[in-house]
Each structure stands twice: as structure tokens, then as C-alpha cells.
Amino acid sequence: MTERIDHTLRGRWSPTTGTLPPHALKWLRQRTGLSDVRTPARTPDVPASALSGAAHAALDAVVGPGFVRVDRDSRLGRTGGLSYLDLLGQRGEGTPAVPDAVVLPATPEQVTDVLRTCAEHDVAVVPFGGGTSVVGGVAALRGDKAAVITLDLVRLDKLVSVDPVSRIAVLQAGLPAPQAERLLAPHGLTIGHVPQSYERATIGGFAATRSAGQASSGYGRFEDMVEGVRLATPVGEWRLGTAPASAAGPDLKQLVVGSEGALGVITEVSVRVRPRPRVERYEGFVVDGWERGSATVRALAQSHLPADVTRLSDVDETEVSLALAGGWKTAALKAYLRARGVAEPCLLILGWHGRSEDEIRRRRKETLRGLKLLSLGRALGEAWRHGRFNGPRQRDTLMELGVCVETLETATHWSRVSELRTAVRAALSDALGNCIVMCHISHAYETGASLYFTVLAARDADDPIGQWQVAKAAASEAITGTGTISHHHAVGTDHAPYLEAEIGGLGVAVLASVKRTLDPTGVLNPGKLLPTGLASPG
């Protein structure tokens, strides 16, 4: 299987360019003051590799000849993730951190050996799965080390075992989600984890970042599905997970999940799986106004029978969806809503997965019991489903057009959801001026919900990086104290300065002590998760 994958170039270096439909472009120009000057990408500089000959040879000895790459394409192909700033860097703006080498281990044992070797040779290690981090999680920072490698887990692509009775599959960390699903399909099983990064993201990345998928209402967050982990560290291998639940002390699995490569490298995950649904049904509804919409989503989340997919767009996001879609159907829909007296339409997508149409019909009936929702039918739900992974592709197009486009997210308890949404919107608008801020709830819990923001603005021609940094800082400040700094994007570099406000000085000290135990020389993913300086041996 490994042979079929091109290890040289991950294909991440050729942003898809495209075009917006004329009506959407016109609307965008009206709303953001976007000019019609294109901003084509340039090729970034690639410095010479700083990996010493001795380190290179030692790594060669671990992974075998040909699996330590120092060529330009391999290194560029793992330069950063998919944040707006990453993409700017990859378009030749700013100075992205390029790894000195890319190392491709084939087994969990090799990963441990690579880490030990790197600790011996003063080389920092950045674990790399799908490279879809939008918070700087895979930036090739070397910290205080002599060099930095990107540890690409692409060759760890095996389905290790399946226990259909216990509904557990052991999957290697480098498996991209679609490939994991393909391997599980013959067993009639699915993970059911579909974040927007689904097409590229890996099992290990899901666990390392506490990922949440679009169907998290039904399938849970990824950490809810982790039954066990196998972690490689510079001091040896650590395995956890013997039971579905335990009171054998603190849940250390939850210390590994979300450790973002800073405490170790996840090499295998025991994942709770479920029978593949035979039927999926998606349906669009409209609710009048954000408050009514979020109250509806809350009622669903607090009921016994939430839908598997629950996603509420605010008025702005709903408007943008319709504007981008365009055409006679949109016009007809708007007229229909006006006629029904819906002043502030908020789109609600609900999705059910099940064994049969009959089962889904019963569940749908029970879920919707007592709720006042205006159904827009299945076509709208299916349209959302069809386009749900398109965000990243649309972003490439928008950046080409000179749009500053980025997302950020948080979560809080229900009583503060609207206050937090208002505060973040205000912070972004104040910082960016003429911009569009959209918001949706895509993950609802009994006690609260996530808020996911998408921002569109005309890019600052002189300082596009500074423009976004100011806006991001403003949003992060608005979040701090009311919500979590990240609901599912993780900490990376971008949120590290805000972690202490959330988990306290003792929280940071605890993480640092765990890091010193597992990574005594501090080679693992420097600058991620823990603020720089706190993670060094002390």
C-alpha cells in the first residue's frame, strides 16, 4: 500500500486556482471593497538544509535509505499547514519555516528510534499527518535546536486490527481519513469522523488535536472515540487503553489526546467504530433569528435524540450561502421566506445516519417533536452535504482574488453563547473594518456549543500578514475569559500565548512537567502547545 503513495511531493504546493461566479464576485466586491487586482503566488525561498551529516546518517540508519529527504520539493511540501498566514507564506509572502529534512518512518518502532536519534543529535521534530493544521501546529520551528525535521507519518497507513464485537479498530496514525474509511468498509464499519479537513487529515492528527467532525452530535468528538493510544517518545513507547472506562486514576489517555506532538508522537489509535449507515438523510430548515435558532439547537442537544449532524448558520452566513449560490432557486427561496414572514433567516442543517429509512423516519419524528421549524426540504441539506469539504478550495480562489479569508472558532456554555458571538464579531469588525463575519454552530452539547467564524475582507496590500495578526489577536482577546481559545483547531503556535489564561499557571506548569518527563531534551514540536521557554528542561 505504501508503494502507491508519492512520498516526495504531497501535492500541497499547487494551490487550486479557480474563479467565483460573476454574481458572487460582484457581491463580494460590494461587501468588502475588494479591488480587481489579482495577487498571484510567488515561489518562496528555501534555505540550505541545516541537518548535520552525522544526524542524516543516523536517521538513514533508522528509516532506511531514501526515507530521509532533503530535496527542495519534499521540504517545501511540508512547510506549514493551511492557515491564512501559512498560505500567504506558501505564496511567497513572509518567511515560512522550512524543515531541514523530511523523515518517513515505516513503523511505530522506527518512530521511537527517530525520536531517540533526534534527541541525541539536537534535532527538533515536527510530526506531520495531513498537514491541515490552521493554527501553526506543523510549522517547522527548530526552537533552540540545531536543526528541525518534519516527521511525515504517511507510511504508517495500516489497519492493524478490527474487533467487530467491541466495535474497535486499531489504526495507524498516518492513515488519511478517507483511506481509513476505505479499509473499514469491507468490515461494514465506519469511524464517522468528518471534519472539513476530512480529505487530507489523518487518524493521528485527529487524536493529537482533539478534532471534532461535522457529525459530532451523533458520533462524538474524536477524543470520545479514542479507546487506546500508542505514543512514541524520546524515552520510549507508551501504550494506554484497556477498558471502555476506568477509575484507575486520572485518564492519561486524555493527556495524550490533544498533545499536538509536543509530548510524543501518536503512532496508533484504537478507535471506536460503528456500523456503516445504510441510509443518510440531510435536511435544510430555517429558523427566524439567531436567538431562536440557537435555542432550537440547544433543545436538540439537550434532548435524548439529537440528529447526527446539527449545524446552524447565523443570518450573515445564511445570506452569504445564498449569495454564493445565486440563481433562480435562491431568488425563489428568498421570496418564499419573505412570504412566510421570516425576517432573519438562519439556515439549520440536520442530518441523520441510520440502518433504514424507517429508523431515520422514527428518529426524525422524535427529534423534531415539539420544535417549530420550517423545513426547506432535503435538496438544501444534500447541497450542504455535497459542498461541505469545499471551504479550503474556495479559499485558494478567494486568496487569488486578494481576499483575506480565515476561520477561527471557540466554544462556551449555552448561557454565554450569544454574548461570545457578539464579542468576537465586534472584535473582528473593529480590527478589519469593511468585512464580512459569518458564524455557525456546528457542535452542540448539553451544556454549550461551538462557534465557528469565517471572515472575509479585502487584503491589506501593504501588510497582509499584520492585518490578520491584529484581527486574530483581537478575536482571541475577546474569546479569553468567556470561551475556550479553541474548540477543535487546537493550540499550535497561534493559541499558545492564550493557553495560560485558560488553564492557569498551574496548568502550564503541569504540562511542562509532563513534557520534561516524556521529552527531557525538548525536541518535540518546539513552540507548539506550550508557550516557548516554558517547555525547556528545568
Residues in region 426-485 near a second copy by CB under 8 A: 443, 445-450, 482-485
Footprint on residues 359-378 left by a second copy (CB under 8 A):
362-363, 366
Member of 187, 272, 276, 361 binding a second copy (CB under 8 A): 272
Alpha helices in 401-528 (DSSP H): 417-432, 464-479, 496-518
Alpha carbon separation from 400 to 10, 18, 408, 466 (Å, rounded): 21, 8, 21, 18
Residue 133 annotated as binding site: yes
> Of 120, 251, 280, 477, which lies in the binding site for a second copy, with binding defined by CB under 8 A?
251
Among 248, 328, 339, 341, binds a second copy (CB under 8 A): 248
393-422: contacts with a second copy (CB under 8 A): 410-416
Q: Which of residues 212-231 bind a second copy (CB under 8 A)?
A: 212, 221, 223, 227
CA–CA distance, 384 with 321 (Å, rounded to integer): 10
Cβ neighbours for 307, distance < 8 A, ≥ 6 positions apart: 217, 218, 300, 350, 351, 352, 363, 364, 367
Under 8 Å between Cβ of 149 and 97: no
Nearer to a second copy, 118 or 518 (CB): 518
Question: Count of residues binding a second copy (CB under 8 A)?
Answer: 86
Q: How buried is residue 340: exposed, middle or buried, by Cβ count under 10 Å (0-12/13-18/19+)?
A: exposed
Residue 377 counted as an annotated binding residue: no
Helix axes 315-325, 327-339, angle to 10 degrees: 140
The annotation status of 392 as a binding-site residue, yes or no, is no
In DSSP notation, 125-146 reads EEEESS---SSSTT----TTSS
Considering the rule CB under 8 A, would residue 524 count as an interface residue with a second copy? no
CB nearer to a second copy: pick between 117 and 233: 233
What minimum distance in Å lies between the beta carbon of 503 and a second copy? 6
Check residue 246 for interaction with a second copy (CB under 8 A): yes
Q: By CB under 8 A, tell whether 48 contacts a second copy.
A: no
Can you read off the three cell numbers belonging to residue 176?
Answer: 488519511
CB of 212 to a second copy, least distance (A): 7
For residue 231, the Cα-to-chain-centroid distance in whole angstroms is 21
Q: Which is nearer to a second copy, 390 or 415 (CB)?
A: 415
Near a second copy by CB under 8 A: residue from 33, 391, 466, 504: 504
- Residue 339 lies near a second copy (rule: CB under 8 A): no
Decide: is 168 part of the binding site for a second copy (CB under 8 A).
Answer: yes
Q: Is 281 in the site for a second copy (CB under 8 A)?
A: no
452 is catalytic: yes
Minimum Å gap between C-beta 74 and a second copy is 29
Give the containing element (helix H, strand E) for 345: strand 345-354
260 is in an annotated binding site: yes
- The H or E element that residue 348 is part of is strand 345-354
Among 84, 198, 219, 452, the one annotated catalytic: 452
Contact region with a second copy (CB under 8 A), list: 183-191, 342-350, 378-386, 490-498: 490-498
SS3 category, 464: helix
Helix (H, G, I), strand (E, B) or coil at 179: helix
CB 83 within 8 A of CB 137: no
395 belongs to an annotated ligand binding site: yes
Residues in contact with 308: Cβ distance below 8 Å, sequence separation at least 6, in sequence order: 192, 215, 217, 218, 219, 351, 352, 353
Q: Cα dist. 196→83, 193, 239, 368, 391 in Å?
A: 13, 10, 29, 26, 7
Report phi then psi at 275, rounded to 5: -60, 140
Backbone torsions φ then ψ of 148, nearest 5 degrees? -140, 130
Q: Is 132 annotated as a binding residue?
A: yes
- 87, 141, 256, 348: residue in contact with a second copy (rule CB under 8 A): 256
Q: Which stretch binds a second copy (CB under 8 A): 10-18, 180-188, 299-307, 321-329?
A: 299-307
Which residue number, 239 or 386, has a Cβ lying nearer to a second copy?
Answer: 239
CA distances from 310 to 81, 369, 441 (A): 27, 16, 8
Select the residue interacting with a second copy from 155, 210, 425, 440 (CB under 8 A).
Answer: 210
Q: Which of 255, 309, 320, 523 binds a second copy (CB under 8 A)?
A: 255
For residue 66, the 8-state DSSP code is: T
Work out the number of other CB atoms within 10 angstroms of the CB of residue 392.
18
Residue span binding a second copy (CB under 8 A) among the ranges 20-28, 97-105, 208-216, 388-396: 208-216
Among 495, 522, 526, 527, binds a second copy (CB under 8 A): 495
Contact flag: residue 506 with a second copy (CB under 8 A): yes
CB of 465 to a second copy, least distance (A): 24
CB of 377 to a second copy, least distance (A): 24
Please report whether residue 187 would count as binding a second copy according to CB under 8 A.
no
Q: Which stretch binds a second copy (CB under 8 A): 11-19, 59-67, 317-325, 504-512?
A: 504-512
233 is a site residue for a second copy (CB under 8 A): yes
Distance CA 139, CA 154 (A): 17
Q: What positions carry a catalytic annotation?
A: 452
Q: Which residues are annotated as a binding site?
A: 127-133, 260-266, 395
Q: Which residues are annotated as a binding site for FAD?
A: 127-133, 260-266
Q: Which residues are annotated as a binding site for substrate?
A: 395
